[in-house]
């Protein structure tokens, strides 16, 4: 498994993949793009962490380093949970269309009806402005990453510093800009991944217990996000938490 | 048998979930009683394990410190009481509160048992994750409240991840300093990261922005899990962390001043903001923040009295919060699921809950003869040793917490009835529990030397 080790040949590939995955996470809203991007991000961070830390333990008949295996698997499971949540919500939306039409005709539904109409409008409309803020904040995150990695290096390796600052700042960016629960959850998972990487960068020799626990926490977090998203969607038929809805409530009433 | 100690509460949770799945409480009324019984028995068994299964050699990977033993016993007893309250106030009907309480208890039990700070941090993060499930356990009838609760839960989730992240980074740097003592300059960074992490967890002002909305809208007993149970265990984690690394704060006078200033400023400003609140839950959040800020101040003071006072105050805080949230749960139940904000004249309709709430708030304000007094007295004594100004500021903060409560007391409990308000009679079981908790508070307020001796010997042994 030579490709799991960073070399001069694949260095730019991994860095490009990390940057692209993080930008996709920050900019796109569609969970069909978000979930593979999350997996790629976890995978690249795992490879970088392994390269910096040199974990001795290996799994799969000694072919894969333990750190890469655990981090990638936790990323895959977390992405799968979010993928299934998004999938379930899409199905729920289709089922609700008829009910929505009936309620619309009857003039009932209150806040839920308002939420659903808003959600539908947002989903079916493409506006450049929706992408301006995430792209702008991603550019700010890139500048901040470069500045921090240059001015405040801590691991003695530019790649490690860059990967940590980049994942963490993108995680924070997503949390600041994102307004739906799944997106906020992806921001949290990205920031958590950055913390994991920091642990690997600064600590000499990974502790398998900590790695395993950290992977479990990642999966717990994904499950909790999924739970919150489904609970919120089931009751209010939207995933959006933005304050625009709060202001809009008066209009509904 | 470390495996048994860690797994036991989770096994009880699994059993509970199975019972709930097979015999849903909505269909089988006896399922409530079974849920409470299993949860309380599970917690009782965990208390026994805390005392029985403890190796004598503290160097092992699994070990309860004497302080952790005392606190876990105390917190698990309080958690059992909260489960009984949940039974009487219909908080078990969704089938989530009992398993969540058991899981949170199991996670903090593991956190205080495992001797690896990284894993301990992750355990606390997991406990906070689990508590979120009970925070969002509200009906969808009141849609606006539901939206607010989910928003506050997301905020709490972000704070949880930040808490874990800051502690993780602090511990990584700490390990670097251990390996290379020449990097002594990192100590300031470590203290800043660790204290900010704990300040976020405790909700110390100004890191408490996530707290008011949770206390205002989440179910009362879920708020106790967040504010009383997890914070009680987190204080023990912080004390152990500081005692294991005395160079960070306890033996490092240059670092104590900023932490003391943060704690005292938090206490005073929380009091100020508490007095300005227009809803009961938010006022409670600010006075709670103030208490925990003062507790942080006590931990940072370089005197044993401050440390003892802070640890005693942590126990009192968990007890007072349970009394307050039990009373609020009774008020919510008796008023057909209406939150306390906006109600008035409750004292005549729910006298026991009103008395319970008043005692809880008086304990938070450190009134003499109640368990809130000894801890605050010791903290202020320690503050006075550092300068009379600190003690005066502490006194000012406490006065403001009391005033913040008294502003609400007259209108909400002694004022005129809300016209047409229908209420149920207070359940006898919860009334007995409230009176019992008041009795315990008075007992520990008058005979405080007994718990102080226990805590003193536990801290000495640690």
> Which residues, in sequence order, are CB contacts of A33 under 8 Å at separation 6+?
A24
Chain B residue with CA closest to A182: the answer is B154
Q: Which among A112, A184, A203 is the nearest to B175, CB-wise? A: A203
Lowest-confidence pick of A15-19, A36-40, A126-130, B80-84: A126-130
**Cβ contact B158–A188 (<8 Å):** yes
Angstrom distance (rounded) from CA B265 to CA B284:
18
Most confident of the following: A89-103, A206-220, B16-30, B296-310? B296-310
Residue B48, pLDDT above cutoff 90: yes
The two three-digit tokens of residue B421, written as one number = 């308000």
CB distance from B150 to chain A under 8 Å? yes
- Quick one: A156 exposed, middle or buried, by C-beta within 10 A (0-12, 13-18, 19+)? exposed
Nearest to B119 among A110, A184, A213 (CB): A213
Contact A220 B129 (CB under 8 A): yes
The minimal CB distance from A213 to the residues B122, B143, B157 is found for B122
Q: Which two tokens stand for residue B292?
A: 């925990």
Residue A52 burial by Cβ neighbours in a 10 Å radius (0-12, 13-18, 19+): buried
d(CA B337, CA B351): 18
SS3 at position B62: strand
The reply to whether residue A188 touches residue B161, judged by beta carbons under 8 angstroms, is yes
Q: Does B173 touch chain A (CB under 8 A)?
A: yes
Residue with tokens 């209108």: B411
- Give one DSSP letter per residue of B4-41, joined into a string: HHHHHHHHHHHHHHHHHHHS-TTT-THHHHHHHHHHHH
| Residues B338/B138, Cβ–Cβ less than 8 Å | no
d(CA B224, CA A77): 32
pLDDT at B298: 94
Residues of B in contact with A183 (CB under 8 A): none
Q: Quote the mean pLDDT of chain A.
A: 77
> Residue B200 corresponds to which tokens in the numbers above?
């976020």
Distance CA A90, CA A125 (A): 17
Nearest to B122 among A214, A232, A235 (CB): A214
**What local confidence, expressed as pLDDT, does residue A138 receive?**
87
pLDDT at B317 over 90: yes
Q: A188, B133: Cβ pair inside 8 Å?
A: no
- Check CB contact of B165 with chain A, cutoff 8 Å: yes
Contact (CB<8Å) B133/A249: no
Confidence at A201, pLDDT banded by 50, 70, 90: confident
Q: Please, are residues B35 and B117 in contact by the beta-carbon 8 Å criterion?
A: no
Listed range (A32-46, A63-77, B54-68, B80-94) with the worst mean pLDDT: B54-68
Q: Which of B15-24, B67-76, B338-347, B442-451 has the lowest mean pLDDT?
A: B338-347
pLDDT at res. A214: 83
User: Residue A121 pLDDT more than 80?
Assistant: no
Phi, psi dihedral angles at A99 (to 5 degrees): -60, -35
Q: Which of B205, B268, B203, B212 is nearest to B235 (CA)?
A: B203
Residue A173 CB burial class (10 angstroms; 0-12, 13-18, ≥19): buried
Nearest CA-CA partner of B39 in B79, B1, B69: B79
For the ranges B133-142, B260-269, B307-316, the lowest mean pLDDT is seen at B133-142
State the distance between the two ends of chain A, measured CA to CA, in whole angstroms. Answer: 61
Question: How far lies B196's CA from each of B159, B200, B236, B325, B397, in Å?
Answer: 11, 6, 17, 27, 21
Listed residue (B133, B125, B130, B126) closest to B162, CA to CA? B125
Proportion of chain A above pLDDT 90, given as a percent: 2
d(CA B455, CA B453): 5
Q: Mutate which of A111, A169, A187, A199 to test chain B, going by most B C-beta atoms within 10 A?
A: A199
pLDDT, position B70: 93
Q: Chain B interface, mutation test: which of A155, A195, A215, most B Cβ atoms within 10 Å? A: A195
Residue B119: list chain A partners with CB under 8 A: 209-210, 213
Q: What is the pLDDT of residue A247?
A: 43
Query: Pick from B132, B150, B179: which is nearest to A224 by CB?
Result: B132
Closest CA to A195 of B171, B230, B245, B192: B171
Task: Classify residue A100 as left (phi > 0), alpha (psi -120 to 50) or beta.
Answer: alpha
Percent of chain B with pLDDT over 70: 98
Residues of A near B (CB-CB distance < 8 A)? 110-112, 175, 181, 184, 188, 191-192, 195, 198-199, 202-204, 207, 209-210, 213-214, 216-217, 220-221, 224-225, 227-228, 231-232, 235-236, 241, 245-246, 249
- ipTM score for this prediction: 0.76
Q: Which helix (H) or strand (E) holds A16?
A: helix A11-27
| Dist CA B176 CA B182 (whole Å) | 10
Chain A nearest-CA distance from B316, in A, is 31
Task: Measure CB to CB from residue A111 to each of B143, B153, B168 and give the nearest one.
Answer: B143
Q: Does the pLDDT value for residue A118 go beyond 80?
A: no
Question: Range with the lowest mean pLDDT among B16-20, B141-145, B226-230?
Answer: B141-145
For B158, name the nearest residue in chain A, comparing CA atoms only: A188
Q: Which residues of A touch B154 (CB under 8 A)?
A: 181, 184, 228, 241
B41 contacts chain A (CB < 8 A): no
The residue count for chain A: 253
Q: Taking Cα atoms as reference points, which of B340, B371, B337 lies closest to residue B353? A: B340
pLDDT above 60: residue B146 = yes
Strands (E), chain A: 58-59, 64-65
pLDDT at A253 over 50: no
Q: What is the mean pLDDT of residues A226-231?
A: 86
Which residues in A lie closer than 8 A to residue B179 (C-beta atoms)? 204
Least confident stretch, B190-194, B309-313, B404-408, B431-435: B404-408
Question: Per the CB < 8 Å rule, is A202 touching B165?
Answer: no
Where b means 16+ CB within 10 Å and e means fewer, B228-267 reads: bbbbbbbbbbbbbbbeebebbbbeeeebbeebbebbbbbb
Chain A: nearest CA to B218, how far in angstroms? 14
How many inter-chain contacts (A to B, CB under 8 Å) are there? 87
Positive or negative: CA dihedral B379, B385, B386, B390? positive
Question: Is there a contact between A199 and B175 if contact means CB atoms under 8 Å apart?
Answer: no
> What residues in B contact A181, CB-CB < 8 Å?
150, 154
The span from the CA of B311 to the CA of B100, in Å, is 26
CB contact under 8 A, B146 and A235: yes
All residues of chain A having their beta carbon less than 8 Å from the beta carbon of residue B96 are none
Q: Distance between CA B176 and CA A204 in Å, rounded? A: 9
pLDDT score at B193:
92
Work out the angle at residue B330's Cα, subtended by the Cα atoms of residues B328 and B335, and round it to the nearest 5 degrees. 95
Using CA atoms, how far apart are residues B242 and B252, in angstroms rounded to an integer? 11
Predicted pLDDT at A87: 77
- Interchain CB distance below 8 Å, B161 and A192: yes
* For testing contact with chain B, the best of A182, A235, A242 (most B CBs within 10 A): A235
* pLDDT for A101 beyond 70: no
**Given an 8 Å threshold on Cβ–Cβ distance, is B150 in contact with A207?**
no
Q: Are B145 and A249 in contact (CB under 8 A)?
A: no
A237 to chain B, closest Cα gap in Å: 11
Does a cis peptide bond (omega within 30 degrees of 0) precede residue A34? no
pTM: 0.86
* Mean pLDDT computed over B240-254: 83
- Which structure tokens are listed for A54? 């040199």
Q: Nearest-CA distance from B165 to chain A in Å? A: 6
Confidence of residue A122 (pLDDT cuts 50, 70, 90): low
pLDDT at A252 over 60: no
Q: Can you read off the two tokens belonging to residue B314?
A: 């942590």
Highest mean pLDDT among A184-193, B253-262, B433-442: B433-442
């Amino acid at each position: 498994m030579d490709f799991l080790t960073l070399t001069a040949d694949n260095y730019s590939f991994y860095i490009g993949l990390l940057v692209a995955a993080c930008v996709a996470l920050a900019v796109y809203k569609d969970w069909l793009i978000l979930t593979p991007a999350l997996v790629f991000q976890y995978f690249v961070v795992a490879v970088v962490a392994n390269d910096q830390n040199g974990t001795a333990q290996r799994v799969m008949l000694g072919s894969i380093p333990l750190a890469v295996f655990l981090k990638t698997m936790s990323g895959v499971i977390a992405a799968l949970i979010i993928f299934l949540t998004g999938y379930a919500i899409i199905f729920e939306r289709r089922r609700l269309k008829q009910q929505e039409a009936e309620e619309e005709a009857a003039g009932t539904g209150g806040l839920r009806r308002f939420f659903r109409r808003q959600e539908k409008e947002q989903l079916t409309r493409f506006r450049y402005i929706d992408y301006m803020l995430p792209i702008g904040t991603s550019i700010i995150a890139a500048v901040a990453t470069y500045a921090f990695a240059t001015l405040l290096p801590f691991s003695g390796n530019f790649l490690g510093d860059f990967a940590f600052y980049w994942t963490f700042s993108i995680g924070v960016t997503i949390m600041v800009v994102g307004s739906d629960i799944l997106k906020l959850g992806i921001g949290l998972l990205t920031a958590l991944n950055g913390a994991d990487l920091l642990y690997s960068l600064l600590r000499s020799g990974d502790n398998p217990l900590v790695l395993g626990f950290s992977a479990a926490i990642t999966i717990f977090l994904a499950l909790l996000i999924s739970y919150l998203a489904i609970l919120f969607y089931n009751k209010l038929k939207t995933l959006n938490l933005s304050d625009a809805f709060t202001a809009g409530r008066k209009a509904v009433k | 048998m470390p495996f048994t100690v860690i797994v036991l509460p989770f096994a009880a949770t699994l059993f509970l979930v199975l019972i709930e799945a097979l015999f849903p409480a909505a269909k089988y009324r006896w399922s409530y009683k079974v849920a409470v019984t299993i949860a309380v028995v599970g917690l009782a068994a965990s208390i026994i394990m805390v005392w029985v299964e403890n190796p004598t050699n503290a160097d092992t990977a699994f070990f309860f410190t004497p302080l952790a033993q005392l606190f876990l016993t105390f917190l698990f007893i309080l958690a059992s009481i909260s489960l009984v309250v949940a039974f009487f106030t219909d908080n078990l009907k969704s089938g989530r509160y009992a398993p969540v309480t058991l899981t949170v208890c199991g996670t903090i039990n593991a956190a205080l048992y495992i001797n690896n700070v990284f894993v301990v941090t992750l355990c606390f993060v997991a406990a906070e994750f689990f508590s979120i499930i009970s925070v969002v356990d509200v009906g969808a009838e009141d849609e606006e409240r539901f939206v607010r609760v989910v928003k506050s839960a997301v905020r709490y989730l972000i704070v949880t991840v930040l808490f874990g992240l800051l502690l993780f980074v602090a511990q990584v740097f700490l390990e670097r300093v251990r390996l290379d003592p020449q990097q002594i300059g990192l100590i300031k960074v470590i203290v800043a990261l660790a204290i900010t992490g704990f300040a976020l967890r405790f909700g110390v002002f100004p890191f408490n922005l996530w707290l008011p909305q949770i206390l205002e809208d989440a179910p009362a007993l879920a708020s106790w899990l967040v504010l009383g149970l997890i914070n009680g265990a987190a204080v023990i984690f912080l004390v152990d962390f500081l005692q294991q690394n005395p160079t960070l704060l306890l033996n490092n006078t240059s670092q104590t001043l900023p932490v003391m200033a943060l704690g005292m400023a938090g206490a005073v400003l929380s009091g100020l903001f508490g007095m300005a609140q227009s809803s009961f839950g938010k006022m409670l959040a600010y006075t709670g923040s103030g208490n925990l800020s003062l507790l942080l101040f006590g931990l940072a003071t370089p005197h044993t009295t401050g440390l003892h006072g802070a640890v005693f105050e942590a126990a009192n805080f968990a007890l007072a919060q349970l009394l307050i949230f039990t009373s609020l749960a009774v008020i919510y139940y008796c008023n057909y699921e209406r939150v306390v904000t906006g109600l008035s004249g409750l004292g005549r309709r729910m006298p026991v809950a009103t008395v319970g709430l008043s005692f809880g708030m008086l304990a938070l304000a450190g009134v003499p003869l109640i368990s809130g007094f000894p801890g605050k007295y010791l903290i202020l004594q320690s503050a006075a040793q550092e300068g009379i100004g600190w003690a005066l500021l502490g006194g000012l903060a406490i006065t403001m917490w009391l005033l913040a409560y008294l502003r609400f007391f007259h209108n909400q409990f002694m004022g005129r009835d809300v016209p047409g308000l229908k209420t149920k009679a207070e359940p006898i079981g919860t009334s007995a529990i409230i009176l019992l908790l008041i009795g315990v508070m008075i007992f520990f307020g008058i005979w405080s030397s007994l718990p102080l001796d226990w805590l003193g010997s536990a801290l000495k042994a640690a």
